[in-house]
Structure 1
Amino acid sequence: MLRIATRTLNRRFTMASTFANVAEEVKLDILSENHLEDNIAKRKEITRTFISDTITVPTQEMYQYATLATLGDDVYFEPSTRALENHVAKITGKEAALFLPSGTASNQIALRSHLAQPPYSIICDHRAHIHKYEAGGAAFHSGAAVLPIIPANEHHLTLKDVQSNMILSTDIHFAPTEVVALENTLNGTIFPQDEIIKISDFVHLQGKKMHLDGARIWHVAAETETSIKKLCEPFDSVSLCFSKGLGAPVGSCLVGSSAFISRARHFRKLFGGGMRQTGILAACAAYALTYNFPLLPAVHSLARKLEAGLEEIGAEITSRAETCMIFYDPSSIGVTYDEIGERASQLPEPLILGGSRVVVHIQTSEAAVNDFLSVVRQLSEEKKKSGFVKPDPTSANGNIYKDVYVRRLPKSTD
């Protein structure tokens, strides 16, 4: 008996020792000794970053609010998340809402939920996020053909554009159009609501569906002083982001009828998007709606200041600051995007730029805008001193010059 007891104790000791080794291998501490200082530096960097509004970070106040959220499992029931969904459904005037991890997930699940059995097609602007920046999701997830349209007015789709391209024929050579998907804002520009209503009336008369990629619809509401409900009314489904413009770390909501959202919830699970303790994320979104949405008018004002400064220096504005984005071309002052980016990166407090698109967000500092303009102005003056003369854009030489100096980036990214 003593021998058996000894063997048992030895086995237990060995197991404990082995488990201690496994536990030691599993351990991880992701916090560096300087992580607090690094976060402070990152927050400073973000105030001087113009590449997107997705790079905004939670404030300490948002963090603190998030820690008070409920601790449910969203695949079953999560109270804070359900409260967010109910609120977003209410302000959009829809029956139900579904919390999702991203705008791409929200758009793609919306399309999949509307569409039943191919063949079918989706109409959208040729610059639309669902067409260019969602990895071909409409084809992969829904088996849908996408009909990208170039707006005749070069700003937004019109009823005439949709009527001319919508496939209503029963000809077996074509994929009938089942969904018209619009985007507002698109590249920071506002889609006129009266045109949206005209398109919606026509599409619904054909018995088809309307979807809105409203990732930055908050900007439209702030700039036009129009309720979210009114902006969403013409659509059967709407995707709204909390991490673009509003400054939450993660999340979007998809809204629509109760039956539509029930189907979308099933697809969310099917696509691997069922999430667990989402209360902390819902709380961040709620904080953003309450405290960050009111900051958007100031964002638009700062964007217009940047646009006016660039124009005063002589840069060409290729897409105006209707909300938070400006697209510009510095070739008219003899400067390239690379030169601006390199000079900006050499400042005592560097700026982070991304080419032709400039995005102002709730954490952009006015000092960063002033420094950006100073860099462009300084480079412009240096070019003048070196003998640069602004070319006549109508001349052959002007066109050649433009080809040399312009490196246009895509007019839409996250």
Structure 2
Amino acid sequence: MSTDLEAARAHVAEQVKVDLFTLTQDEDNKRGMQEVSRSFLSDTITVPTPEMYSYASKASVGDDVYHEPCTLALEAHMAKITGKEAALFIPSGTMSNQIALRTHLKQPPYAVLCDHRSHIVRYEAGGLAFHSGAHAQMVIPSNGHHITLEDVEGEIVLGQDIHSCPTEVISLENTLNGTIFPQDEIVRISEYAHRIGVKMHLDGARIWHVAAETGKPLTELLAPFDSVSLCFSKGLGAPIGSCLVGPKEYIKKARWFRKMFGGGMRQTGFMAASAAYALTHNFPRLPAVHELTRKLEAGLVEIGVEITSSAETCMVFFDPSPIGVTYLEIIERANQLPEPLKLGGSRLVVHIQTSPQAVEDFLTVVRTLAEEKKTAGFAPLEKKSTPNGRPYGNIYVRGVKREAH
């Protein structure tokens, strides 16, 4: 080998080399953990703990496109606890939902009926149209909380009228914006759908919260559905991953679509192990999360803030206008704290790493602003609501999105 070639290779190796860590990486990570504990933005921001990393580091090292022992074991466990025949580990909840629907939809024209606030149509970048070429039949729930069988019957498209797009799948979401979909209504919709030959899919990204709050096993909660997507990084604190469950032949086809979508992964053992750790150690913590969320709601009510969607699980939505305060004022004041709070408007999300002190500090911020407004002469406003007590649609306040409840 020539000296010139050796030198050239060494030069390329020097260019490729990288060190991602800062000189203060350990301290940076501690600060990051502290910031997570004081953020109400989402439960997706939770981070793996040293204990989770330690467990994951022992995982198998197979290739998931071929054979990955830990991932296969996780998929078998997920199929068992959900009462389905098979399961498929997928990188994200969005991909899991989109693969689920694409696998159900075989020959257009076809449509998916869902709540107008559903993640599949609001927050998946138009994937339903792009990946499946499907029409979305979005339903506004007449009760303001969840769609009912009567809502479905009023919007579903059946028959052979060539002017219409027939409904092939009904996709529900549980929880939706933190609210629990009543199981008896799900059963009613499912029985109707299956009677007329329509498939049922569930975006169950946060179904863990429903199981933790109601005590119902996943087998019961998911029995009405032909396919279900469950997330490990929302609520449970794993760094990545969702799981799609359903019939064996359905999952076999879904695995093909996962490859087509670019979701075939390699050494996923550590991801599966992180999910397993989250199921074992973090799922039991969800009732405490719900209790802290209710404490947050009670504090806001005591101050005089209007609750626009109650704390059924890990979220509470609020409107501070009755005390003369805006979202931006709250956000700005929270940012000025010695240890800032991260907020995003009307939605407050509590998670397994939210500190009780963060809740107290947030309530203090709102309480202080309310007192300042009162001192300045503001008279509390009379609360306003729609006939069913809930707002309709999505509202934007100076660029801050208030999600529908």
- Note whether the superposition's TM-score is higher than 0.5: yes
Identity %: 65
SS of corresponding position for 2:46: coil
CA displacement at 1:404 relative to structure 2: 12
Name the structure 1 match of 2:82. 92
Name the structure 2 match of 1:215. 205
Name the structure 2 match of 1:296. 286
Change over 3 Å in CA distance of 1:404–1:264 after alignment to 2 = closer
CA displacement at 1:348 relative to structure 2: 1.1
- Aligned mate of 1:183, from 150, 170, 173: 173
- Aligned mate of 1:165, from 143, 149, 155: 155
SS of corresponding position for 2:338: coil
Q: Is the 8 A contact 2:94 2:124 kept in 1?
A: yes
Q: Where does the alignment leave 5 or more consecutive residues of structure 2 unmatched?
A: 386-394
Amino acid at match of 2:61: L
- Partners in 2 of 1:349 and 1:191 — Cα distance? 36
CA displacement at 1:187 relative to structure 2: 0.1
SS of corresponding position for 1:409: strand
CA displacement at 1:407 relative to structure 2: 7.1
CA displacement at 1:83 relative to structure 2: 0.5
The yes-or-no answer on 1:409 pairing with 2:373 is no
Number of residues of Structure 1 aligned to a counterpart in Structure 2: 396
- Aligned mate of 1:347, from 326, 337, 349: 337
- Partners in 1 of 2:227 and 2:130 — Cα distance? 20
CA displacement at 1:117 relative to structure 2: 1.2
Name the structure 1 match of 2:389. none
CA displacement at 1:392 relative to structure 2: 3.3
- Partners in 1 of 2:210 and 2:251 — Cα distance? 24
Q: How does 1:7-406 map to 2 (within 5 A)?
A: 12-393=2-383
Q: Is the 8 A contact 1:331 1:406 kept in 2?
A: no
Amino acid at match of 1:369: V
- Partners in 1 of 2:137 and 2:166 — Cα distance? 11
Amino acid at match of 1:62: M
What are the Cα deviations for residues 86-129 of structure 1, in whole angstroms up to 9, with x where unaligned?
A: 00000000000000000000000000000001100000000000
Instruction: Specify the structure having the higher radius of gyration (Cα).
Output: 1
Q: Is the 8 A contact 1:54 1:247 kept in 2?
A: yes
Q: Is the 8 A contact 2:285 2:352 kept in 1?
A: yes
Q: TM-score, normalised by structure 2?
A: 0.96
Change over 3 Å in CA distance of 1:200–1:46 after alignment to 2 = same
- Partners in 2 of 1:48 and 1:392 — Cα distance? 31
Name the structure 1 match of 2:392. none
Amino acid at match of 1:217: I
- Partners in 2 of 1:55 and 1:404 — Cα distance? 23
Q: Is the 8 A contact 2:294 2:311 kept in 1?
A: yes
- Partners in 2 of 1:196 and 1:87 — Cα distance? 25
SS of corresponding position for 1:280: helix
Q: Is the 8 A contact 1:337 1:407 kept in 2?
A: no
Q: CA RMSD in A?
A: 1.6
Q: Where does the alignment leave 5 or more consecutive residues of structure 1 unmatched?
A: 1-10, 396-402
- Partners in 2 of 1:17 and 1:210 — Cα distance? 62
CA displacement at 1:362 relative to structure 2: 0.2
- Partners in 1 of 2:164 and 2:78 — Cα distance? 37
Q: Is the 8 A contact 1:335 1:405 kept in 2?
A: no
Q: Is the 8 A contact 2:47 2:239 kept in 1?
A: yes
- Partners in 2 of 1:32 and 1:250 — Cα distance? 24
- Partners in 2 of 1:192 and 1:306 — Cα distance? 24
- Partners in 2 of 1:253 and 1:217 — Cα distance? 12
Q: Is the 8 A contact 2:321 2:381 kept in 1?
A: no
Q: Is the 8 A contact 1:331 1:405 kept in 2?
A: no
What are the Cα deviations for residues 174-216 of structure 1, in whole angstroms up to 9, with x where unaligned?
A: 1110000000000000000000000000000011100000000
CA displacement at 1:411 relative to structure 2: 1.7
What are the Cα deviations for residues 34-82 of structure 1, in whole angstroms up to 9, with x where unaligned?
A: 1111000000110000000000000000000000000000000100000
Q: Is the 8 A contact 1:49 1:351 kept in 2?
A: yes
SS of corresponding position for 2:401: coil
Amino acid at match of 2:198: K
Change over 3 Å in CA distance of 1:302–1:14 after alignment to 2 = same
- Partners in 1 of 2:142 and 2:354 — Cα distance? 34
Amino acid at match of 1:340: I
CA displacement at 1:156 relative to structure 2: 0.2
Q: Is the 8 A contact 2:344 2:400 kept in 1?
A: no
SS of corresponding position for 2:172: strand
- Partners in 1 of 2:44 and 2:382 — Cα distance? 38
- Partners in 1 of 2:402 and 2:373 — Cα distance? 27
CA displacement at 1:391 relative to structure 2: 2.6
Q: Is the 8 A contact 1:334 1:405 kept in 2?
A: no
Q: Is the 8 A contact 2:322 2:382 kept in 1?
A: no
Q: Is the 8 A contact 1:129 1:412 kept in 2?
A: no
SS of corresponding position for 2:202: strand
